[in-house]
Amino acid sequence: MNHAEEIADATREIFSSMIMLDVTAKEATKRTSPDFVNSITGMIGLAGTSKGNLLIHLPAPVATAVTTAFLGMDVESIDDDVCDAVGELANMLAGAVKAALDPSGSDIKLSMPTTVYGDSYCLDCQDCGISVLVPFDLDGAEFSVELQLIDG
């Protein structure tokens, strides 16, 4: 399975159909730093035959713009609405990736969405065997979607 391609396809489809925004995938890479500044991350855990996390990382201005488009209401700062919207995006993305990893739909379970945000925070995956980060362009701003799979 081409993880980067699955992430790119799912992200484009979800943003286009659910938020009415067009995003462009950039070249996939590995995240080089565990540190985030003025951002929000939505996370979903994967358990079962594939273990790991699906994460969406958005700088605060991108998160508020996406939430404004998603909910159809003006959002100016990260609040409960932004946390809910980013958590729901992570959930939809994880569902799409789960379907690619587990076509039967029964061998992988997803956690509830979790969000973390702040002026500065750190996220790291200690036992990631596979880590794919796909950056996206949204009208000149960037965000990323990351898949971390744990060996074993």
Mean pLDDT of the chain: 93
Q: Is the pLDDT of residue 94 over 80?
A: yes
Quickly list DSSP for 51-81.
-EEEEEEEEHHHHHHHHHHHHTS---S--HH
The answer to which of 16-20, 30-34, 84-88, 118-122 has the lowest mean pLDDT is: 30-34
What residue ranges do the domains of the chain occupy? Answer: 3-150
Average pLDDT over residues 29-40: 91
Instruction: Give the single-character DSSP code of 29.
Output: B
Q: Is the pLDDT of residue 60 over 80?
A: yes
Which pLDDT belongs to residue 87?
97
Q: Which residue has tokens 């729901």?
A: 88
Length of the chain: 152
Which pLDDT belongs to residue 20?
95
Which pLDDT belongs to residue 1?
61
How crowded is the C-beta side of 55, counted as CA atoms within 13 Å? 27
In the chain, % of residues over pLDDT 90: 81
Q: How far apart are CA 67 and CA 15, in angstroms?
A: 11
- For 3-150, CATH number out of 3.40.1550.10, 3.20.20.70, 3.40.50.920, 3.40.50.360 equals 3.40.1550.10
Is the distance from CB of 83 to CB of 77 less than 8 angstroms? no
